[in-house]
Amino acid sequence: MSMESRPPLPPFTQDTARQKVRAAEDGWSGRDPHKVALAYSEDSVWRNRSDFIRGREAIVGFLTRKWQRELEYRLIKELWAYEGNRIAVRFAYEWHDDSGNWFRSYGNENWAFNELGLMVERHASINDLPITEADRLFHWPQGRRPDDHPGLSDLGL
């Protein structure tokens, strides 16, 4: 195991769990697969929909393909529960395909972290809902969600 650290570290409190969730949202919103992969242990194990992924190199490949397909990706994550070194989140993101068809993807993730604050397990269940462009709710400029933008609960999602 490398000696890198990704605070906040477990065991999580409500505040540090929320910080971890926002850091993950911000990282994914940046859409840089190499940078995002650094939040995961080198031997991290994922289940993402029907994909089973192991290790940072595979994470980089997965995220590269994802963001080539899911254009204008905008994400909101919300803390659902936490205990010890585990966090559960719910999320929604909006994107369109290369034909201009818009989607809102909803899901839940279960995360486990090592003592260095790196995610060692990620289990994601996700469903895609086709939406019209007029139904979009996430309109901030590409990148990090502004602090004053409503969260999932505020949007009724």
Please write the tens of the pLDDT for every residue from 112-144: 999 999 999 999 999 999 999 999 999 999 999
Closest Cα to residue 8, out of 63, 79, 60, 59? 79
Q: Is the peptide bond before 11 cis (omega within 30 degrees of 0)?
A: yes
Note the pTM of the prediction, 2 decimals: 0.95
Q: What is the pLDDT of residue 3?
A: 64
Please write the tens of the pLDDT for every residue from 30-68: 999 999 999 999 999 999 999 999 999 999 999 999 999
Separation between Cα atoms, residue 73 and residue 71, nearest integer Å: 5
Please write the tens of the pLDDT for every residue from 72-96: 999 999 999 999 999 999 999 999 9
Residue 1 has pLDDT above 50, yes or no: no
Exposed/middle/buried for 11, CB within 10 Å: 0-12, 13-18, 19+?
middle
* DSSP letter for each residue of 8-52: SPSSP-HHHHHHHHHHHHHHHHHT-HHHHHTTEEEEEEEEETTEE
Domains of the chain: 14-135 (3.10.450.50)
